[in-house]
């Protein structure tokens, strides 16, 4: 970086070496999380936007992040095997019906299995179309979304209309899965959070959200995330599965049954998406309602891309979406306004830095950054709360920005989305 | 030459027929499993529609057609414009606000509003285009994000621009003045119904013709299709691929901008929170069904609208939810894409065999050519 001025162009240099993966110290992410809490609590104290990290908002965020994370995990399994799964939305819708139907008749635990089963059915259709028949993945995914929405709605009318408390677009209230909290710890942390001390009460809020009223399914979802990470990156099965997404023909020459691996990956993907739908009916809203999924399948896909096709990144993306969703649902216009403060501070500081130390970039970039920072500051000072629509828009705009600024660093599986046919290797 | 063409036509027809048969079988199976009356459902769906339903089908097909053409422009370029849904809503809102102001007299207002709609749709799609060419962001994911952003943005702007009507919860833009409305076309002479066909069916015809002409008969269209088929070939023949991607994305968005126009100028006269939604996703399915072909999409749009209209009677006449139509539509699209893929492969195999036999006839047959052809 610093010897940029010394580069002499001869036209004879070897092409630049491929960017090495960045190896960060183990404490890096802990430092990031710690830093984030410090910033949050400072902003909270300055602006008085208590909901910025209250345990209530964080509990809501966890519940909202789970279905997105599960859907993203579904996307991860299938894309790691090289099949783009835009049909997550349709599979989730199937999962909502499956979860509600089986939970109503056989209890919530069977409901979980029902959601997974219906998701797998959706996954099987996608696998049949893309892996066996070689249809374009996105085309098939769009069709699955149509089919899933139609089939879910049709089945709901068929099964819930005649039930007491149910209707054509809504199921009766469903039996609930148990919530888990650690009783005395939760109260104690609640007391600390009430005090409103800088940093201390924020950490208490975060811990309280993690120990109070956690649904069993949330815990299962986190375990599934860890399990997926372990299987995909630490077992021979996972290695073979990922090889199908990176270089299917090479995998084929090594004796991997690519078709079977891809098929299985898409089935697992469907099952996870179905479970994401099941989470919506069994935990988030306690009943089936038409239109409940509301694009969460797409958001899951976005969270996965946001997370660079890795489990950890995916979890971060899902958390971001869940958090902004929670803020919006709690009417947190003041929270989004509060965020303008650190954003403005950061942009102004960064802009000044670029202008002072010219090496970091062109002066134009510095000026633009500075102007954006000042605009954010003016926005922060000019309003008392940001309109609800803009709060809702935030995660989507954030995803677009991340894609725009980080897409060069994103690395999808090399053969992602390509149609594979056996024995065509060149 | 002629024989091959015949064979091609047969192959081309085989796919949709196969798909419809598969859709019929699969839907019947679903009905059987769910315990719904199979016979009554098909009797209702195949029943001849009433004259007023015919008009409704044609009107709905007009809107679907525009949406599918917008999607198809992207498809021909190998771009998945999933964002037609957001583009047409942004555009319809912009056009409704502009036309509602009535700055211009009568027809001129309509013409300029159409331009406003195309500009709005093109701009919205252009964001995805710019992100793709400058930052390499997949248009699939960026248009999905832009769809949701459009929903929030339009609802925010609508709350600012809305005309509050006393005693009503409806949120609408200022209605378009009488003089700037597009009159419907009466078909009372052909089929007995007072209902009118959208005057903007003309718009759909014009867009369809333009699509066929520009993509099929101009150099620009050729370049666009080349880029869609093979980027390297396009680069080799001097096409600026990035500019091409951006241009086709913007054109696709401009076409998407027109989707809401028949509804706006022929039926609603205002944009509100009840404006028909989900047209963009239907457009994707219809474009797939119609094979991105200007004429094929006509039939696909009519089929889609026909199923919609016939589905309305399902509940009354067969005691089955009208959501069944969504299942049928989904199954049709899925089986159509699978059928096309199978037929394409069969066509390739037949072609290979034909070439092989010609080569074998031209030279002395040797085991080597046999092997190479297989």
CA distance A285 to B334: 31
Q: Mean pLDDT throughout A75-85?
A: 94
Residue spans of beta strands (DSSP E) within A80-151: none
pLDDT class for A417, splitting at 50, 70, 90?
confident
B259 — pLDDT class (breaks 50, 70, 90): very high
Contact A265, A241 (CB under 8 A): yes
Question: With an 8 Å Cβ cutoff, are A125 and B334 in contact?
Answer: yes
Q: d(Cα A173, Cα B314) in Å, to the nearest integer? A: 28
Q: Which residues on chain A are in Cβ contact (under 8 Å) with B327?
A: 147, 150-151, 154
In this prediction, residue A31 carries a pLDDT of 80
A167: β partners: A170
Instruction: Specify the range with the lowest mean pLDDT, choosing from A49-53, A212-216, A308-312.
Output: A49-53
Q: What is the mean pLDDT of residues A188-196?
A: 73
Q: What is the pLDDT of residues A17-43, one digit of tens each?
A: 555 555 666 677 778 777 877 777 777
Average pLDDT, chain B: 86
Where is average pLDDT lowest: B244-258, B268-282, B353-367?
B353-367
- What's the pLDDT tens digit per position in B200-252? 999 999 999 999 999 989 999 998 888 888 888 888 888 888 999 999 999 99
Q: Kindly report the three-state secondary structure assignment for every residue of chain B.
A: CHHHHHHHHHHHHHHHHHHHHHHHHHHHHHHHHHCCCHHHHHHHHHCCCCHHHHHHHHHHHHHHHHHHHHHHHHHHCCCCCCCHHHHHHHHHHHHHHHHHHCCCCHHHHHHHHHHHHHHHHHHHHHHHHHHHHHHCCCHHHHHHHHHHHHHHHHHHHHHHHCECCCCCCCCECCCCCHHHCCCCEECCCCCCCCCEECCCHHHHHHHHHHHHHHHHHCHHHHHHHHHHHCHHHHHHCCCCHHHHHHHHHHHHHHHHHCCCHHHHHHHHCCCECCCCCCHHHHHHHHHHHCCCCHHHHHHHHHHHHHHHHHHCCHHHHHCCCCCHHHHHHHHHHHHHHHHHHHHHHHHHHHHHHHHHHHHHHHCCCCHHHHHHHC
Tell which A residues from 407 to 426 touch B, by Cβ distance under 8 Å.
407-408
Does the structure show a pLDDT above 60 at B119? yes
Give percent above pLDDT 70 in chain A: 90
Q: Assign residue B47 a region: left if phi > 0, alpha if psi is -120 to 50, beta otherwise?
A: beta
Kindly state the average pLDDT of the residues A130-142.
89
- Is the model more confident about A23 or about B1? A23
Residue with tokens 């403005």: A344
Task: Quote the pLDDT of residue B1.
Answer: 44
Chain A partners within 8 Å of B342 (Cβ): 133
User: Cβ neighbours of residue A239 under 8 Å, at least 6 residues apart?
Assistant: none
What 3-state class would DSSP assign to A109? Answer: helix
Cα separation, A232 vs A310, whole angstroms: 10
Distance separating alpha carbons of residues A393 and A324, to the nearest angstrom? 9
What's the sign of the alpha-carbon dihedral B251, B252, B253, B256?
A: positive
Instruction: Say if CB A303 and CB A118 are below 8 A apart.
Output: no
Q: Residues A72-81: what's their mean pLDDT?
A: 95
Specify whether the backbone of A295 is left (phi greater than 0), alpha (psi in -120 to 50) or beta.
Answer: left
In sequence order, what are the residues at sequence separation of 6 or more whose Cβ sits closer than 8 angstroms to the Cβ of residue B204? B62, B65, B66, B262
The residue ranking higher by pLDDT, A108 or A34, is: A108
Cα A45 to chain centroid distance, Å, stands at 29
Distance CA A276, CA A288 (A): 13
pLDDT of residue A5: 40
Interface test with A, best of B19, B31, B132, B148 (most A CBs within 10 A): B148
| Residue in the block written with tokens 């072909």 | B293
Yes or no: say if B320 and B37 are a contact pair by the CB < 8 Å rule. yes
* Residue tagged 């019947």 (tokens): B28
Which H or E element spans position A179? strand A179-180
Enumerate the β-bridge partners of residue A170: A167, A289
Enclosing H/E stretch for A180 = strand A179-180
Phi, psi of B134 (to 5 degrees): -95, -35
* Mean of pLDDT values over A241-255: 92
pLDDT band at B343 (very low <50, low <70, confident <90, very high): confident
Higher-confidence residue of B345 and B254: namely: B254
| Selected residue with higher pLDDT from A232 and A320 | A232
What confidence category does residue A167 fall into, taking pLDDT thresholds of 50, 70 and 90?
A: confident
Three-state DSSP at A289 gives strand
Q: Are B321 and B314 in contact (CB under 8 A)?
A: yes
Q: Which residue of A has its CA nearest to B322?
A: A154
d(CA A211, CA A395) in angstroms, rounded, equals 26
> How close is the nearest chain B Cα to the Cα of A133, in Å?
6
Q: Enter the pTM of the model.
A: 0.85
Q: What is the mean pLDDT of residues A366-372?
A: 79
* Integer Cα distance of B342 and B219 in angstroms: 31
The residue ranking higher by pLDDT, A410 or A314, is A314
Vertex A66: Cα angle to A63 and A71 (nearest 5): 150
Residue B369 reports pLDDT greater than 50: no
More confident residue, A418 or A245: A245
Residue A389 contacts B, CB cutoff 8 Å: yes
**Residue B80 C-alpha, separation from nearest chain A C-alpha, in angstroms:** 8
Question: For residue B175, what are the CA distances in angstroms to A353, B60, B264?
Answer: 51, 22, 10
Q: Which residue has the tokens 């696709």?
A: B252
**Quick one: pLDDT at residue A10?**
43
Residues 6 or more apart whose Cβ sits within 8 Å of residue B238: none
* Each residue's pLDDT tens digit, B136-146: 888 888 998 89
Question: Given a cut of 60, is residue A236 above it in pLDDT?
Answer: yes
pLDDT band at B322; cut points 50, 70, 90: confident
The pairing of beta strand B196-197 with beta strand B185-186 = antiparallel
What is the pairing mode between strands B185-186 and A214-215?
Answer: unpaired
C-alpha neighbours within 13 Å on the C-beta side of residue B253: 28
Nearest by CB to residue B327, choosing from A142, A154, A298, is: A154
In this structure, of A227-236, B119-128, B167-176, B197-206, the range with the lowest mean pLDDT score is B167-176
> Using CA atoms, how far apart are residues B90 and B124, in angstroms rounded to an integer?
8
Any idea what DSSP says for residue A283? Answer: I
| Residue A3, pLDDT score | 40
Where are any strands of DSSP class E within A205-281?
214-215
Q: What is the pLDDT of residues B30-64, one digit of tens each?
A: 888 888 888 888 888 888 888 888 999 999 999 99
Over chain A, what is the mean pLDDT?
83
Q: How confident is the model at residue B167 (pLDDT cuts 50, 70, 90)?
A: low
Residue B170 pLDDT greater than 80, yes or no: no
* pLDDT for the residue B165: 64
Is A11 a residue whose pLDDT tops 50? no
Q: Tell which of B19, B152, B162 to mutate to test the A interface (max A CBs under 10 Å).
A: B152
pLDDT more than 90, % of chain A = 35
- The pLDDT value recorded for residue B278 is 83
**B292: phi then psi, degrees, rounded to nearest 5:** 55, 20
Q: What is the average pLDDT across A166-175? A: 87
Residue A410 exposed, middle or buried by CB count within 10 Å (0-12, 13-18, 19+): middle
Buried b (16+ CB within 10 A) or exposed e, A227-244: ebbeebeeeeebebbbbb
SS3 A298: helix
> What pLDDT score does B289 carry?
86
**Interacting residues of B367 by C-beta distance below 8 A, sequence separation 6+:** none
Flag if B330 and A86 touch (Cβ within 8 Å).
no
Closest-CA distance of chain B to residue A235, Å: 30
Interface predicted TM-score of the whole assembly (ipTM), two decimals = 0.84
Inter-chain CB proximity A403 and B135 less than 8 Å: yes
Cα(B262)–Cα(A91) distance, integer angstroms: 33
What's the full length of chain A, in residues? Answer: 426
Q: Is 80 exceeded by the pLDDT of residue A182? A: no
The residues near A140 (Cβ < 8 Å, ≥ 6 apart) are A87, A126, A129, A130, B334, B337
**How many residues appear in chain B?**
374
Please say whether the beta carbons of A269 and A123 come within 8 A.
yes
What does the alpha-carbon distance between residue A257 and residue A229 come to, in Å, rounded to a whole number?
Answer: 22
Residue A12, pLDDT score: 44
Q: Encode pLDDT of A387-401 as tens digits.
A: 777 777 877 887 788
Q: What confidence tens digit (pLDDT) does each residue in B63-109 have?
A: 999 999 999 999 998 888 889 999 999 999 999 999 988 888 888 99
Asked if the Cβ–Cβ distance from A135 to B338 is below 8 Å, we say yes
Cβ(A147)–Cβ(A93) below 8 Å: no
- Cβ distance of A387 and B144 shorter than 8 Å: no
A178-183, long-range: CB within 8 Å, 24+ apart, which pairs?
Answer: A178/A215, A178/A216, A179/A213, A179/A214, A179/A215, A179/A216, A180/A213, A180/A214, A180/A215, A180/A216, A180/A219, A181/A211, A181/A212, A181/A213, A181/A214, A182/A211, A182/A212
B34: nearest CA partner in chain A: A158
Q: Which of A327-336, B12-21, B42-51 has the highest mean pLDDT?
A: B42-51
Higher pLDDT, B175 or A240: A240
Residues 157-176 (A) with a CB less than 8 A from some CB of B: 157-158, 168
| Strand pairing class (A179-180; A214-215) | antiparallel
Residues paired with residue A396 on neighbouring β-strands, in sequence order: none
Structure tokens at B19: 């798909």
Which of A142, A396, A407 lies closest to B149 in CB terms?
A: A396
- In degrees and rounded to multiples of 5, residue A149 shows phi and psi of -60, -45
Q: What's the burial of B193, exposed, middle or buried (CB within 10 Å: 0-12/13-18/19+)?
A: middle
């Amino acid at each position: 970086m610093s010897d940029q001025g010394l580069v002499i162009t001869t036209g004879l240099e070897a092409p630049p070496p491929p960017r090495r993966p960045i190896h960060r110290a183990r404490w890096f992410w802990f430092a990031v999380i710690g830093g984030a809490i410090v910033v949050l609590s400072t902003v909270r104290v300055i602006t008085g936007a208590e909901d910025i990290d209250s345990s209530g908002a964080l509990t809501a965020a966890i519940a909202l992040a789970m279905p997105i994370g599960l859907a993203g995990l579904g996307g991860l399994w299938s894309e790691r095997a090289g099949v783009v799964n835009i049909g997550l939305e349709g599979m989730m819708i199937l999962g909502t019906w499956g979860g509600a139907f089986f939970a109503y008749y056989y209890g919530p635990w069977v409901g979980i299995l029902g959601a997974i089963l219906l998701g797998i059915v959706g996954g099987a259709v996608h696998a049949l179309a893309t892996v066996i028949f070689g249809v374009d993945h996105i085309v098939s995914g769009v069709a699955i979304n149509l089919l899933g929405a139609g089939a879910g709605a049709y089945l709901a009318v068929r099964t819930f209309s005649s039930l007491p408390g149910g209707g054509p677009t809504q199921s009766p209230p469903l039996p609930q899965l148990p919530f888990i909290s650690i009783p005395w710890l939760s109260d104690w942390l609640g007391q600390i959070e009430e005090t409103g001390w800088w940093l201390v009460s924020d950490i208490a809020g975060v811990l309280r959200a993690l120990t109070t009223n956690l649904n069993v399914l949330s815990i299962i979802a986190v375990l599934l995330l860890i399990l997926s990470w372990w299987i995909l990156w630490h077992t021979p099965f996972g290695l073979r599965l990922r090889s199908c997404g990176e270089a299917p023909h090479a995998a084929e020459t090594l004796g991997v049954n690519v078709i079977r691996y891809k098929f299985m990956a898409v089935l697992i993907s469907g099952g996870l998406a179905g479970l994401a739908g099941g989470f919506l009916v069994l935990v988030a809203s306690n009943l089936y309602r038409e239109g409940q999924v509301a694009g969460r399948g797409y958001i899951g896909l976005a969270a996965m891309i946001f997370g660079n096709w890795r489990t950890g990144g995916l979890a971060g993306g899902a958390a971001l979406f869940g958090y902004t969703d929670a803020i919006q649902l709690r009417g947190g216009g003041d929270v989004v306004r509060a965020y303008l403060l650190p954003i403005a501070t950061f942009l102004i500081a960064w802009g000044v830095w670029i202008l002072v130390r010219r090496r970091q970039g062109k002066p134009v970039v510095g000026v633009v950054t500075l102007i954006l920072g000042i605009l954010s500051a003016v926005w922060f000072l000019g309003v008392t709360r940001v309109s609800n629509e803009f709060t809702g828009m935030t995660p989507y705009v954030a995803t677009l920005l991340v894609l725009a600024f980080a897409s060069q660093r994103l690395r999808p599986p090399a053969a992602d989305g390509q149609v594979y046919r056996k024995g065509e290797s060149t | 030459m002629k024989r091959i063409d015949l064979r091609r036509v047969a192959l081309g027809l085989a796919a949709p027929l196969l798909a419809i048969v598969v859709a019929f079988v699969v839907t019947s199976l679903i009905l059987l499993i769910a315990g719904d009356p199979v016979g009554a459902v098909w009797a209702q769906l195949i029943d001849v529609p009433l004259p007023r339903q015919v008009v409704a089908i044609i009107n709905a097909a007009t809107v679907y057609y525009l949406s599918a053409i917008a999607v198809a422009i992207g498809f021909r370029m190998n771009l998945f414009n999933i964002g037609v849904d957001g583009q047409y809503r942004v555009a319809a809102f912009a056009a409704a606000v502009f036309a509602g102001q009535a700055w211009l007299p009568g027809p001129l207002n309509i013409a300029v509003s159409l331009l406003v709609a195309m500009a709005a749709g093109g701009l919205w799609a252009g964001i995805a285009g710019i992100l793709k060419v400058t930052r390499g962001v997949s248009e699939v994911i960026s248009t999905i994000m832009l769809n949701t952003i459009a929903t929030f943005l339009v609802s925010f702007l609508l709350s600012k621009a809305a005309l509050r009507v006393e005693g009503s919860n409806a949120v609408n833009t200022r209605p378009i003045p009488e003089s700037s409305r597009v009159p419907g076309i009466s078909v009372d002479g052909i089929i007995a119904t007072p209902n009118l066909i959208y005057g903007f069916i003309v718009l759909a015809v014009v867009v369809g013709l333009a699509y066929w002409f520009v993509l099929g008969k101009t150099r620009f269209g050729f370049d666009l299709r080349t880029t869609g088929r093979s980027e390297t070939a396009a680069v080799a023949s001097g096409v600026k691929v990035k500019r091409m991607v951006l241009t086709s994305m913007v054109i696709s968005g401009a076409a998407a901008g027109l989707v809401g126009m028949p509804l706006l100028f022929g039926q609603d006269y205002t944009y509100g929170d009840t404006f028909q939604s989900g047209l963009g996703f239907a457009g994707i399915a219809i474009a797939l069904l119609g094979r991105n072909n200007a004429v094929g999409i006509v039939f696909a749009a009519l089929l889609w609208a026909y199923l919609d209209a016939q589905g309305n009677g399902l509940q009354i006449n067969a005691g089955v939810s009208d959501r069944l139509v969504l299942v049928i539509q989904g199954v049709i699209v899925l089986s159509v894409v699978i059928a096309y893929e199978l037929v394409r492969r069969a066509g390739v195999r037949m072609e290979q065999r034909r070439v092989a036999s010609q080569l074998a006839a031209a030279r002395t047959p040797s085991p080597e050519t046999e092997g190479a052809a297989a």
